[in-house]
């Protein structure tokens, strides 16, 4: 994420790590934090004064002086180089920010080298070459700035950072094609070659790449910049103003030795130096995976529209092929960006599908997956060999309530691994939820009983938690598909009834009846269950109305008499 969010955490670490004397540690930590802030503000105040002095000498004292090592030229060099100091300091204080701010400092240093080369060599040549030797170092400084910005914003993008980087390049190429459409012919008429024009247009394109990356980095913070990011964005905006003015001056053949365009770079570098010292005092904003969706869609769409418009306008106004080349490059990257977005979307859908069918605790297939697999297997020709073992752990609730949910989760994970290892490739193990598991197998009923016995034997092995041995049992119900009308719900219902019968009789394993035999049993059970339910409901309602009367009857079976009493 932008520098200040990281630097806030690092500042806290830097403040608390210090040699302390007993009873004075808190005072020293506070004092150390105050010294760091005070030293930065003293340094930044001196840099700000040098920038103001540069502005005064450029526009007031020596408004028409050339760019030489006189007062205004020396102040220009100092003001545009001094921000390197806070950039180096922040890298030394906070290791996580060292690399990005080292690249930013390298960009300032390369810019200073380019200024010296221009002052001592390029501007003394008549005419001034374009591109000049100083342009090599200016372009290198921009590349260093881009790398620094990329590293500063890296934490904000996560898995989608490649698409965001690509958005910045797309926007840069699209705007470069638009700028070249407006200025390519004037620049060419001013005597510039193709390489000259490409170099001149590269500067605003690089600026736009940095701007898009910085703005995209604000997506996890709902596009609310903190102080450090705001200063970086402001610095890049001043770069854009200066580069646009510079290109316009070249097109009009009206460049001056030291103009407002040059001063914009001093202001931009000064703001970047301020960003290095800025500390974010806000709480970290909650991230949202979808917060950057609108920007990620808008950048390629708008850039693609600009590129298409430039290509269409090129044929109407007869612009050179280089203009169309930039637009075509932008369109090609838009296509690549669309492919990348589709791939990310496909992975997201696949991940969502897998998560919806996987138990998060044991990584086994869940209930939904179980029903889908049974339904698929029942469509096969050999459906009579599709069997289900429904497993319910005995004694797990006591372990979970006594030792806690963490131990309970660990126990479920261990049991699931033992079940899966014992089952092997003979079937598919799933977790239905809670302490219930199910195994799907394609085999005969006899083989299914053998597998169930093996699974039951694994539960008898003890489990150790913090030196305490824990044992649980299991009740298993077996059901094998039979008949053409059976569906997954009927098969699981039969296995569920067999499992509860095994739990009631404490026999461990129970095989369900065939569907035809179970229909008669279901009718009798339903009549009994309905009668019991009605009696229970009437008793509860009478108790709530407080109009019930308690009666009992004593029956002596030995003597054959009874007594009734209210």
Is residue 150 pLDDT above 60, yes or no? Answer: yes
478: CB partners within 8 A, 6+ apart: 387, 388, 389, 390, 445, 448, 449, 452, 495, 498, 509, 510, 511, 512
- The dihedrals phi and psi of 63, each to the nearest 5 degrees, come to -65, -25
Is residue 539 pLDDT above 60, yes or no? Answer: no
State how far the Cα of 401 lies from the Cα of 383, in Å rounded to an integer.
41
- pLDDT of 541: 56
Of the ranges 256-260, 368-372, 514-518, the best mean pLDDT one: 368-372
For the range 534-543, what are the long-range contacts, defined as Cβ-Cβ under 8 Å and sequence gap of 24 or more? none
Q: Give residue for tokens 């030792």.
A: 403
- pLDDT of 433: 87
Q: What angle do CA 430, 432, 438 make, to 5 degrees?
A: 45
- pLDDT of 488: 84
As to burial, measured by CB atoms within 10 angstroms (0-12 exposed, 13-18 middle, 19+ buried), residue 258 is: buried
Is residue 517 pLDDT above 90, yes or no? Answer: no
170: CB partners within 8 A, 6+ apart: 299, 300, 303, 304, 330, 333, 334, 337
Is residue 63 pLDDT above 60, yes or no? Answer: no
Q: Does domain 367-512 have CATH number 3.30.70.270?
A: yes
Q: Give residue for tokens 């009437």.
A: 538
Q: Which residues pair with 561 in a beta bridge?
A: 556
For the chain, the structural domain boundaries read 3-354, 367-512, 519-566
Query: What's the mean pLDDT in 367-377?
Result: 86
Query: What's the mean pLDDT in 209-215?
Result: 80
Query: What's the mean pLDDT in 214-240?
Result: 80
197: CB partners within 8 A, 6+ apart: 180, 184, 187, 188, 322
State how far the Cα of 171 lies from the Cα of 165, in Å rounded to an integer.
10
For the range 184-192, what are the long-range contacts, defined as Cβ-Cβ under 8 Å and sequence gap of 24 or more? 184/319, 184/320, 184/322, 184/323, 185/319, 185/320, 186/251, 186/252, 187/247, 187/250, 187/251, 188/320, 190/250, 190/251, 190/252, 190/253, 191/253, 192/130, 192/250
The string of pLDDT tens digits covering residues 491-513 is: 888 999 999 998 888 888 999 87
- State the alpha helices, DSSP H only, in 357-475: 367-378, 396-403, 405-423, 445-459
Q: Which residues pair with 564 in a beta bridge?
A: 553
Q: Which residues pair with 431 in a beta bridge?
A: 437
Mean pLDDT score across all residues of the chain: 75
Query: What's the mean pLDDT in 521-526?
Result: 45
- pLDDT of 3: 39
Is residue 454 pLDDT above 80, yes or no? Answer: yes
Cis peptide bond prior to 102, omega within 30° of 0? no
- pLDDT of 34: 37
Whether the Cβ atoms of residue 257 and residue 228 lie closer than 8 Å to each other: no
**How sure is the predictor about 151, in pLDDT bands with cuts at 50, 70 and 90?**
confident
- 127 compared with 286, residue with greater pLDDT: 127
Query: What's the mean pLDDT in 26-32?
Result: 37
- pLDDT of 268: 93
CA atoms within 13 A of residue 222's CA, in its CB half-sphere: 5
Is residue 98 pLDDT above 70, yes or no? Answer: yes
Give me Rg for the CA atoms of the chain: 38
State how far the Cα of 65 lies from the Cα of 331, in Å rounded to an integer.
45
- pLDDT of 161: 60
- CB environment 153-169: b (16+ within 10 A), e (fewer): bbbbbeebbebbbbbbb
Whether the Cβ atoms of residue 235 and residue 83 lie closer than 8 Å to each other: no
- pLDDT of 288: 43
What is the DSSP code (8-state) at residue 472?
-
Per the structure block, which two tokens stand in for 8? 């806030």
Cβ neighbour number for residue 516 with a 10 Å cutoff: 9
In 3-state terms, what secondary structure has residue 474? strand
């Amino acid at each position: 994420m932008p520098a200040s969010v990281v630097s806030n955490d690092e500042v806290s670490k830097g403040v608390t790590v210090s040699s302390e004397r007993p009873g004075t540690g808190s005072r020293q930590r506070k004092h150390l934090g105050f010294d760091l802030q005070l030293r930065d503000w003293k340094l930044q105040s001196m840099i700000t004064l040098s920038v103001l002095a540069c502005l005064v000498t450029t526009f007031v004292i020596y408004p028409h002086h050339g760019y030489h090592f006189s007062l205004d030229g020396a102040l220009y060099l100092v003001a545009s180089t001094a921000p390197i100091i806070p950039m180096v300091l922040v890298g030394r204080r906070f290791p996580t920010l060292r690399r990005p701010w080292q690249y930013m400092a390298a960009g300032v240093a390369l810019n200073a080298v380019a200024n010296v080369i221009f002052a001592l060599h390029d501007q003394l040549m008549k005419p001034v070459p374009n591109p000049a030797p100083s342009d090599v170092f200016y372009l290198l400084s921009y590349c260093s700035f881009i790398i620094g910005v990329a590293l500063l914003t890296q934490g904000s993008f996560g898995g989608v950072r490649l698409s965001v980087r690509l958005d910045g390049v797309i926007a840069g190429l699209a705007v470069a094609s638009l700028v070249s459409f407006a200025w390519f012919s004037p620049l060419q008429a001013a005597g510039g070659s193709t390489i000259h024009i490409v170099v001149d247009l590269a500067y605003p394109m690089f600026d736009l790449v940095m701007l898009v990356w910085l703005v995209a980095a604000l997506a996890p913070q709902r596009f609310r910049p903190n102080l450090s990011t705001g200063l970086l964005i402001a610095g890049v905006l001043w770069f854009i103003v200066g580069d646009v003015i510079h290109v316009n001056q070249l097109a009009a053949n009206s460049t001056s030795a030291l103009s407002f365009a040059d001063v914009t770079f001093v202001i931009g570098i000064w703001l970047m130096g301020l960003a290095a010292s800025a500390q974010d005092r806000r709480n970290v904003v909650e991230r949202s995976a979808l917060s950057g969706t609108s920007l990620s869609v808008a950048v390629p769409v708008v850039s693609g529209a600009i590129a298409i418009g430039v290509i269409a306008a090129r044929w109407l106004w007869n612009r050179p092929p280089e203009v169309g080349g930039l637009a075509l490059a932008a369109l090609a990257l838009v296509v690549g960006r669309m492919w990348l977005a589709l791939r990310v979307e496909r992975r997201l859908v696949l991940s969502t599908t897998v998560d919806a069918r996987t138990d998060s605790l044991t990584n086994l297939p869940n209930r939904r997956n179980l029903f889908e697999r049974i339904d698929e297997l029942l469509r096969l020709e050999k459906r009579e060999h599709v069997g289900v073992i429904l497993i319910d752990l005995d004694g797990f609730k006591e372990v979970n309530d006594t030792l806690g949910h963490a131990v309970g989760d660990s126990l479920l994970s261990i049991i699931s691994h033992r079940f899966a290892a014992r089952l092997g490739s003979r079937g598919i193990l799933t977790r239905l939820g809670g302490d219930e598991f199910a195994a799907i197998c394609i085999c005969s009923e006899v083989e299914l009983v053998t597998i169930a016995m093996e699974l039951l034997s694994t539960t008898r092995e003890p489990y150790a938690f913090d030196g305490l041995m824990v044992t649980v049992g299991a009740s298993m119900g077996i059901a094998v598909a039979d008949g053409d009308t059976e569906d997954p719900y009927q098969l699981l219902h039969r296995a569920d009834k067999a499992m509860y019968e095994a739990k009631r009789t404490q026999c461990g394993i129970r095989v369900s009846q065939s569907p035809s035999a179970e229909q008669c049993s279901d009718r009798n059970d339903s009549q009994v269950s309905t009668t019991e339910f009605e009696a229970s409901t009437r008793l509860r309602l009478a108790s709530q109305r407080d109009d019930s009367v308690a009666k009992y009857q004593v029956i002596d079976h030995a003597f054959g008499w009874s007594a009734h009493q209210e």
